[in-house]
Amino acid sequence: MDPTPDSRQFLTNAEEFQNVSRGNPLPYKLKGDDLVKARLTPESWRLEIISDVSSQLEKPRKLDDGTAIDFPALEALGKKHGVKFLKAMQCLNIPRPLGQGLWEGVPLREVLKLVGKVNNVRRVYYWGFHNNDPKQLFQSSLGYNQVMETPPWDLGPFVAYKLNGEPLSLQRGGPARIVVPWSHGFKSIKWLQQIVLTNDYQANDTYAKENNDPDSYLKTAAYISDGPDSFKKGEAISITGNAMVGWSGLKRVEYWLRPDQGTHGKLAEDDPAWQKAEWKPCTLEQPPADWGSQLPKGIMPKDVWGFDPRTNKPKDWPLRFSWALWSAKLNDLSAGAYEFRVRTVDLNGFAQPEPRPYPKSGRNEIQYKPIVVMG
């Protein structure tokens, strides 16, 4: 298993993202000629954009006639329409973010414009290389309007080819992958190679076939970092973690501390204790004063989506779809055992796990940490 990212890092090194790749063998483990045959090198990479029988494209981009998009063409689009965006990647079925990076690429709508006029299109299907084995195929889809009509104050899905200022590695889905800002990672398909435009209204997502919610937006939720559980009486106690800032934004993070109840942290959803809980505010870290020390070399804050180009500061904080760092100071605790819980409250005023507690639309249960103060 890959190392878990340290919650105090603002950006996660590419190699330190938790790895949840699929495939047997894993595509990023291929070497030499196998990589070239799989079109997983910048020189061999091609992106095919076609339609099924339900839709029509003016200029489909095909492999067999040499019109598929190559990597230099993608980079050329990036020079004209490129975007840079801070996003924390999170798996729908894992209760903590996998890592946060500065992703760079081209809006998917600009890529799709290369096929000219289209007719009868309702959905965009896409998938990447998975050993050319239909049984391993991992795919996803978006509504055509989600791709083409993103509001100007938001960022639409894009084709990423850089992470933290460096070429996107094979392990992270390079040479190019889809990144969907508002969604869990299963929408951000790695090793992108084919896009199919269709009039079919149904999602084709692999995760839909696995009984997950294929159109689930990222949830706002708090997570506790690894750290000691035992402390000496009188010792300063600081509990830290990060909070995923989902579609509905983040208003605050708060904690609840109570004496241990002897149930190993188990607390039923309908337990009356939830209604009597005394939640106290955690401290949210403010934006870095010096973004030059946080962003990759050569990248200015004004170049990153969500920043004011005049002030070089974020327009909103915390930024949606990124993570926020929080801490809680527990002072003057008497000797004994305690239960520590933490939750988020979004900009609607909804406290985690509301408004969507259903795990198949993303894990956001309230996390628990045991604390022991020794006399």
Q: Nearest 10 degrees: CA dihedral of 309, 188, 90, 359?
A: 130
CA proximity to 241, closest of 228, 222, 259: 222
Residue 27, preceding peptide bond in cis (omega within 30° of 0):
no
Backbone angles phi, psi at 102, to 5 degrees: -95, 105
Residue 2 has pLDDT above 70, yes or no: no
- Where would I find the H helices in 84-181? 108-112, 144-148
pLDDT tens by residue, 178-230: 999 999 999 999 999 999 999 999 999 998 888 888 888 999 999 999 999 99
Give 8's pLDDT tier (boundaries 50, 70, 90): low
Are 284 and 245 in contact by the 8 Å Cβ rule? The answer is no
d(CA 28, CA 46): 17
Around Cβ 310, how many Cβ atoms within 10 Å?
Answer: 7
Backbone angles phi, psi at 80, to 5 degrees: -95, -40
User: What domains lie within the chain, and their CATH numbers?
Assistant: 14-209 (3.90.420.10), 221-374 (2.60.40.650)
pLDDT tens by residue, 65-96: 999 999 999 999 999 999 999 999 999 888 88
d(CA 198, CA 204): 11
d(CA 146, CA 201): 13
